[in-house]
Structure 1
Amino acid sequence: MNRNDAAGPIIVFDAECILCTANAQFVLKHDHNRTFRLASMQKEVGAALYRRFGIDPANPESMIVVAGDRLFKDSDAVLAIYAGLGWPWKAVAALRFIPRVLRDPAYRWLARNRYRLFGRRDACWVPSSGDADRML
């Protein structure tokens, strides 16, 4: 994924979901170029981005990545994140060769069952002070 605007793409994620916050922590740790910003769907910026693309922030079906006016969701969002992290993580983006019709149902199943499989936090995850500037 190319960086479409000066501030970089935004990953909107569920900050109460343990799997989702683990992914956000992974991005913060491995995004050495500080390409991505993150927004929790529980906060106004994240909720507004979901609504902008017709997704109910109270019951989202997918984590999303917003790059300018472009939306990545479902498995495309995951692949866009890995593509933006650089090597060796960028190699995961090669999974785009698998048709979306096969990738997305697996992603959606995981997204629907994320709380049951991985758990839910009582409060939203908050990043360290060193990464606070990357949160919207």
Structure 2
Amino acid sequence: MTATPTFVYDGDCSFCTTCAQFIERRIPTRARVVPWQFADLDALGLTTDQCEEAVQWVSPDGTVAAGPDAIAALLHDAGRLWQVPASALAFSPVRAAAWPAYRWIAEHRHLLPGGTAACSLPQAQRNL
């Protein structure tokens, strides 16, 4: 395991990369923010399928969270200002709505600002 948490995203997706750049510039997390294509997935205990499905948070103890739970973990790690949205994502009614919203965004990310057609394809079909 690593001494710092790791936030893993899809580096082939422009929308995801734009979000990761926002995290790096604006959210004071201790986490290493890395595209899964350049991460040692075995060392992190992740699979390609997990990373293609959702962003991933790997804590120093190896605990893994995905999608909105990963985002909540990242925000929680960022400190006081970010505790409010982190707590909101952990609140049961919000958490119940967060996953369907996350899946919708993930399925439509190619249509969102910064998205490209490559965002809509599974990894196996992106570099043909």
- Which TM-score applies when normalising by structure 2? 0.71
- How many residues are paired up? 114
Q: Which of 8, 11, 14 does residue 15 from structure 1 map onto?
A: 11
Q: In 2, Cα distance between the equivalents of 1:16 and 1:106?
A: 21
Higher helix proportion (structure 1 or 2): 2
Counterpart position of 1:65? 57
Q: Report the identity percentage.
A: 29
Counterpart position of 1:56? 49
Stretches of structure 1 that go unaligned for 5 or more consecutive residues are 123-136
Pairwise mapping of residues 1-136 of structure 1 onto structure 2 (< 5 A)?
7-32=3-28, 35-45=30-40, 47-48=41-42, 52-56=45-49, 60-67=52-59, 68-95=61-88, 96-99=90-93, 100-118=95-113, 119-120=115-116
- Which TM-score applies when normalising by structure 1? 0.68
**Per-residue displacement from partner, 1:15-43 (whole Å, max 9, x unpaired)?**
122332222222222344x5111221222
Which protein, 1 or 2, shows the higher relative CO under an 8 Å CA cutoff with sep ≥ 6? 1
Deviation at residue 92 of structure 1 after TM alignment: 0.7
Stretches of structure 2 that go unaligned for 5 or more consecutive residues are 119-128
Q: Are the counterparts in 2 of residues 30 and 85 from structure 1 also a CA contact under 8 Å?
A: no
Deviation at residue 6 of structure 1 after TM alignment: 6.3
Q: In 2, Cα distance between the equivalents of 1:107 and 1:49?
A: 26
